[in-house]
Amino acid sequence: MIRKALMTDAVEIRNLVNYYADKDKMLAISLNNVYDRLRDFFVVESDGKIVGTIALHFVWENLGEIRSMAVAENFQGQGIARDLLRVAIDEAEKYSCSRVFTLTYVPEFFQKYKFKIIDKHDLPHKVWADCINCPKFPDCGEIPLAYDLDMEK
């Protein structure tokens, strides 16, 4: 059910994320950004439509970022986000990445899966290079959380 994104998914990924961005539930993404990072994305497809997405972007030594997690409203509550998060963490492990973090408005979701709130100043400066280009910088209000894959062993 979960697969890597294809070129043909880019517009639907952008639309799903921006549907929630318009409601201030996550930050908006441009089509350019989706194409740039297409290989980061996993999607869930149902009847030819993209109904769930997540991205894992490598940032720095041993550090990956979980981004753009969204599930279409009529598909929520079925464990799709949980499964997407699992797949993204498994992918991080395949690349010997030992820590993933996320910036989110729904910390409770990630805390359920053992992510811990961190101080955003502990993240590498590179992370803020993206933030500077965001219209909400510097007051986006997103909460930083991290998960150490070593904890699984």
Ligand X SMILES: CC(C)(COP(=O)(O)OP(=O)(O)OC[C@H]1O[C@@H](n2cnc3c(N)ncnc32)[C@H](O)[C@@H]1OP(=O)(O)O)[C@@H](O)C(=O)NCCC(=O)NCCS
Q: Please state, in angstroms and rounded to a whole number, the distance separating the CA atoms of residues 56 and 41.
A: 7
Cα separation, 152 vs 77, whole angstroms: 25
32 binds ligand X (CB under 6 A): no
Task: Tell me: does residue 109 bind ligand X (CB under 6 A).
Answer: yes
CB of 121 to ligand X, least distance (A): 20
**145 touching ligand X, by CB under 6 A:** no
H/E stretch holding 43 reads strand 41-46
In the bound state with ligand X, the residue whose beta carbon lies nearer, of 67 and 99, is 67
Binding mask 57-86 for ligand X (x = CB under 6 A): ------------xxx----xxxxxxx----
Q: Which two tokens stand for residue 79?
A: 């464990």
Identity of the residue, 96 or 117, whose beta carbon is nearer to ligand X in the bound complex: 117
Pick the closest to residue 110 from 65, 153, 47, 44 (CA basis): 65
The owner of tokens 């990956």 is: 64
Query: Measured from the CB atom, is 60 or 105 closer to ligand X?
Result: 105
For ligand X, the binding residues (CB under 6 A) are 20, 25-26, 69-71, 76-82, 104-106, 108-109, 112
